[in-house]
């Protein structure tokens, strides 16, 4: 392990303050500070996949922009692979890939294939690596039919897969993904997750991922960081996050007929009744099996499903607790 592998990404009290002008009545403008990132510190070892989550405006994209060198921090210290991103953006570019789900890094008028050829020249990717990586991306991200299509004609989900491929053609050590599954259909999401998992296992690529999709986190991330108001609210495992947020899963049962609220199920309480359908909440960390068994033993059950807690709820609850 190289010296900086344990702290491949390293932030120490990093801040980003934006100064914005706001209208304050007729013809007046007030200067106003937005502390988008308000003293964030963490380290990510090489090869780790970290979920960087939080509500809208929390400071996630701003953090990623500083990590890629697009934005210069207003304070604190930041290093990626020992490099200060905003000072040596070009040197770092060779080692990093980035995907902003909201915006493409591809050339709007060019077919994907030509965009990739440009990426290859930009990074001087050796022939064999390029061919190997492109082939793999095309296969795993299902791009074969799309290579000759100009980027502007691609659907959001197709373009996103195209963007992810472009970010990985030069074998980066670190990959930043800002909402990479936004707008993807279920099948594409599965493909993208499988692909990212494979890249991480095979190449030990370090991944920092922002998403509003809990499944992305569950299936990809060993570690979750929750950001709110530019600060780290939580840093640990997903299971731990649920424990902290005391989040609940919901058992949705369809009974044979309309009945009074289900009672007497240990560890669960009925939170909603709508006709023959009832909702029972139970702690997210608990197993659903004994609850299902208890309901099935006492009630005429037709169908059931378990709903996972909504990550936004967990975060909202956590934040309310901390600020309250
Ligand atoms: N260029 C900018 N100028 C002024 N304010 C900005 C700028 N970029 C971001 N902000 C502000 O900084 C805060 C954090 O924004 P950021 O884009 O990092 O949030 P986010 O966590 O990525 O949210 P989302 O989930 O909506 O993508 C917000 O209040 C936003 O309005
Ligand atoms: Mg964002």
pLDDT digits (tens, 9 = 90+) for 212-224: 887 888 899 989 9
DSSP letter (8 states) at residue 56:
T
Ligand nearest to the CA of 55: 1
pLDDT digits (tens, 9 = 90+) for 227-254: 989 999 899 988 787 777 677 889 999 9
CATH class as words, domain 9-242: alpha beta
Domain locations along the chain: 9-242, 248-307
The alpha carbon of 112 and the centre of ligand 1 are apart by a number of angstroms equal to 30
| Amino acid 29: pLDDT | 80
| Amino acid 55: pLDDT | 84
What secondary structure does DSSP assign to 175-239, as a single string?
EEEESTTTT--HHHHHHHHHHHHHHHHHH--EEEEE-S-HHHHHHH-SEEEEEETTEEEEEE-HH
Please report, rounded to a whole number, the percentage of residues in the chain having pLDDT higher than 70: 94
**Angle, CA 124 vertex, CA 96 and CA 205 arms, to 5°:** 25
Instruction: Answer whether 21 contacts ligand 1 (Cβ < 6 A).
Output: no
Cβ–Cβ < 8 Å for 144, 138: yes
**Sorting pLDDT into bands at 50, 70 and 90, what band is 24?**
confident
Q: Which of residues 143 and 104 earns the better pLDDT score?
A: 143
Instruction: Answer whether 32 contacts ligand 1 (Cβ < 6 A).
Output: no
pLDDT digits (tens, 9 = 90+) for 260-282: 999 999 999 999 999 999 999 99
Task: Give residue 1's Cα distance to chain centre.
Answer: 27
- The mean pLDDT value of the chain amounts to 91
Instruction: Answer whether 220 contacts ligand 1 (Cβ < 6 A).
Output: no
């Amino acid at each position: 392990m190289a010296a900086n592998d344990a702290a491949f990404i390293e932030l120490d009290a990093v801040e980003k303050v934006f100064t914005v002008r706001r209208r304050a009545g007729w013809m007046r403008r007030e200067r106003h500070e937005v502390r988008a990132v308000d003293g964030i510190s963490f380290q990510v070892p090489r090869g780790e996949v970290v979920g960087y989550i939080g509500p809208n405006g929390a400071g996630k994209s701003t953090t990623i922009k500083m990590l890629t060198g697009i934005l210069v921090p207003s304070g604190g210290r930041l290093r990626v692979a020992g490099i200060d991103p905003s000072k040596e953006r070009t040197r770092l570019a060779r080692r990093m890939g980035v995907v902003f789900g909201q915006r493409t890094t591809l050339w709007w008028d060019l077919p994907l294939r030509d965009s990739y050829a440009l990426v290859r020249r930009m990074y001087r990717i050796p022939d064999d690596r390029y061919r190997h990586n492109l082939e793999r991306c095309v296969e795993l991200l299902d791009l074969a039919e799309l290579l000759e299509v100009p980027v502007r004609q691609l659907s959001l989900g197709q373009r996103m897969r195209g963007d992810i491929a472009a970010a990985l053609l030069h074998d980066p050590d670190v990959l930043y993904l800002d909402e990479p599954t936004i707008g993807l259909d279920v099948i594409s999401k599965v493909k993208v997750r499988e692909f990212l998992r494979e890249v991480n296992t095979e190449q030990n690529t370090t991944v920092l991922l922002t998403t509003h999709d809990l499944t992305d986190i569950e299936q990809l991330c060993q570690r979750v960081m929750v950001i709110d108001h530019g600060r780290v609210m939580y840093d640990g495992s997903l299971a731990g996050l649920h424990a902290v947020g005391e989040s609940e899963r919901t058992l949705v049962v369809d009974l044979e007929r309309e009945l009074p609220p289900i009672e007497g199920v240990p560890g669960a309480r009925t939170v909603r009744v709508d006709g023959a359908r009832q909702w029972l909440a139970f702690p997210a960390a608990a197993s659903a099996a004994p609850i299902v068994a208890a309901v099935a033993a006492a009630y005429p059950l037709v169908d059931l499903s378990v709903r996972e807690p909504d990550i936004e709820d967990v975060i909202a609850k956590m934040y309310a607790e901390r600020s309250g």
